[in-house]
């Protein structure tokens, strides 16, 4: 009898898991249930190349329907509103039932929403999926002055794109630096300067008190009583794991679905991967939740292996990137556990990297530079971190010395 494998969530983790399962299991039924009426697609270009019209919607799909058909992977556009883990069943609002032997939850994350007057809920736009990106792209074509609330990756990428479309852009960030949740201030300041050089206004340490609609436009009152007039508002204030469906079940939740290093949850035969998973990382000996292209892909592959019976630990070193104007920012590892910081380079045109060391070993690194300048060194850094290498600080700090010397040692 064939096993029924159901993947709940049609994003990157889900599609990579499905294909990895099929690589190791030619017989089981594999079904992906996705809420969007679209095949799985790439999301990073939505805030960049898609807004800039360098990529069309059809360019974003991971695979065509023919690829899934050839690999005997079913995809269905459906919304699940009830789960019965004990009897291994999923239910739609019309009481259609999906039974499974193994379940992968890859429901991703969703936008945090601004707490505002209910009358303005439909006036604030967010960018998480293709439909939202299409709406923003259409509306901003007729707008001139755009305010972005939130100075994280997504907000700054949108700010960069809209600035290149000749829009006047204002970014409001409640913290004392951009990208404060994960990026060191030294790097954030370099990125901020680039935005300012391109005409974007950056407002830090300010909280929004009130937004008022006036003659089709908006007035934003800040906590210093200053007033910003704007044509259009986009918010990018973070995200939360999509777990509402599981809140009244016995599935263990804590900033997402808690999993071990094998993507296994607290319930037998139920796995989780991608943004929704708060997973144990054996290298860092702690749980963490990540939102990045690379993590969703690698975590999905790891989940797929384990579901197919190939016991595999998830040990990938975190890596993420952001393109803004002509800059490429990259981050590897974790930058919140260190006893020393080493700087490499001081010119953004040639790339600047900060290494975060603990006991003379690299725990993380963050770099920024003109596109093409920091990628290779960040990749080498990731390998050094993975190998737990004791590093030569002189080589780290001297841009004239190649980092691959550290691997050869």
Burial of 121 (0-12, 13-18, 19+ CB in 10 A): exposed
In this predicted structure, what is the pLDDT of residue 1?
A: 55
Query: How do the pLDDT tens digits run along the chain, 409 residues long?
Result: 579 999 999 999 999 999 999 999 999 999 999 999 898 999 999 999 999 999 999 999 998 889 999 999 999 999 999 999 999 999 998 889 999 999 999 999 999 999 877 678 889 999 999 999 999 999 999 999 999 999 999 999 999 999 999 999 999 999 999 999 789 899 999 999 999 999 999 999 999 999 999 888 999 999 999 999 999 999 999 999 999 999 999 999 999 999 999 999 999 999 999 999 999 999 999 999 999 999 999 999 999 999 999 999 999 999 999 999 999 999 999 998 899 999 999 999 999 999 999 999 999 999 999 999 999 999 999 999 999 999 999 999 999 999 988 886 5
d(CA 158, CA 152): 10
For the chain, which residues make up each domain, given as ranges?
A: 4-43+62-109+239-307, 113-235, 326-408
d(CA 123, CA 51): 19
Q: 144 and 231 in contact (C-beta within 8 Å)?
A: yes
d(CA 57, CA 42): 10
In this predicted structure, what is the pLDDT of residue 197?
A: 97
In this predicted structure, what is the pLDDT of residue 254?
A: 98
In this predicted structure, what is the pLDDT of residue 54?
A: 97
Of 206, 181, 202, the closest CA to residue 191 belongs to: 202
- How many Cα atoms sit within 13 Å of 85 on the Cβ side? 17
- How many Cα atoms sit within 13 Å of 136 on the Cβ side? 30
How many other β-carbons are positioned within 10 Å of the β-carbon of residue 336? 11
**H or E element that contains 233:** strand 232-235
In this predicted structure, what is the pLDDT of residue 408?
A: 65
Cα angle for residues 111, 364, 287 (degrees, 5° grid): 55
**H or E element that contains 74:** strand 73-77
Domains 4-43+62-109+239-307 and 113-235 share a fold: yes
Task: Provide φ and ψ at 299, rounded to 5°.
Answer: -70, -40
Determine how β-strand 145-149 pairs with β-strand 124-125: unpaired
Map 86-137 to HEC letters.
CCCEEEECCCCEEECCEEEECCCEEECCCCCCHHHHHHEECCCCHHHHHHHH
Cα angle for residues 10, 13, 18 (degrees, 5° grid): 75
Q: 92 and 79 in contact (C-beta within 8 Å)?
A: yes
In this predicted structure, what is the pLDDT of residue 117?
A: 72
Q: For 326-408, CATH number?
A: 3.30.390.30
d(CA 56, CA 357): 42
Name the architecture of domain 113-235. Answer: 3-Layer(bba) Sandwich (3.50)
* CATH entry 3.20.10.10 includes domain 4-43+62-109+239-307: no
DSSP output for 132-156: HHHHHHHHHTT-SEEEEE--SHHHH
Token representation of residue 221 = 């009152």
């Amino acid at each position: 009898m064939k096993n029924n494998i159901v993947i709940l969530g049609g994003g990157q983790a889900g599609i990579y898991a499905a294909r990895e399962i099929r690589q190791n299991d030619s017989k089981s039924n594999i079904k992906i249930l996705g809420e969007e009426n679209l095949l799985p697609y790439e999301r990073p270009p939505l805030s960049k190349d898609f807004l800039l019209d360098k990529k069309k919607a059809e360019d974003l799909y991971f695979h065509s329907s023919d690829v899934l058909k050839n690999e005997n992977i079913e995809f269905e556009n459906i919304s699940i509103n009830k789960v019965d883990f004990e009897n291994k069943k999923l239910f739609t609002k019309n009481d259609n039932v999906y039974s499974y032997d193994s379940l992968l939850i890859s429901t991703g994350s969703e936008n945090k929403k601004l707490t505002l007057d209910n009358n303005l809920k439909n006036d604030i736009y967010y960018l998480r999926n293709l439909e939202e990106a299409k709406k923003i792209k259409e509306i901003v074509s007729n707008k001139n002055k755009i305010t972005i609330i939130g100075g994280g990756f997504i907000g700054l990428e949108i700010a960069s794109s809209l600035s290149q479309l000749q829009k006047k852009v204002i970014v409001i960030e409640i913290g004392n630096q951009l990208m404060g949740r994960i990026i060191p201030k030294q790097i954030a300041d370099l990125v901020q300067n680039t935005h300012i050089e391109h005409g974007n206004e950056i407002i830090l340490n300010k909280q929004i008190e009130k937004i008022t609609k006036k003659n089709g436009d908006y007035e934003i009152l800040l906590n210093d009583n200053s007033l910003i007039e704007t044509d259009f508002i986009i918010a990018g204030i973070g995200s939360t794991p999509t777990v509402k469906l599981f809140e009244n079940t016995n599935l263990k939740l804590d900033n997402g679905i808690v999993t071990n290093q094998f993507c296994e949850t607290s319930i037998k035969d139920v796995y989780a991967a991608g943004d929704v998973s708060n997973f144990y990382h054996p290298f860092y000996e702690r749980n963490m939740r990540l939102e990045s292209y690379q993590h969703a892909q690698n975590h999905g592959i790891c989940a797929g292996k384990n579901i197919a019976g190939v016991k595999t630990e998830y040990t990938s070193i975190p890596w993420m990137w952001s393109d803004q104007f002509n800059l490429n920012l990259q981050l590897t590892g974790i930058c919140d556990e260190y006893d020393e910081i080493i700087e490499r380079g001081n010119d953004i045109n040639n790339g600047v990297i900060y290494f975060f060391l603990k006991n003379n070993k690299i725990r993380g690194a963050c770099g920024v530079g003109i596109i093409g300048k920091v990628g290779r060194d960040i990749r080498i850094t990731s390998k050094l971190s993975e190998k737990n290498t004791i590093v030569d600080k002189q080589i780290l700090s001297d841009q004239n010395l190649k980092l691959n010397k550290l691997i050869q040692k």
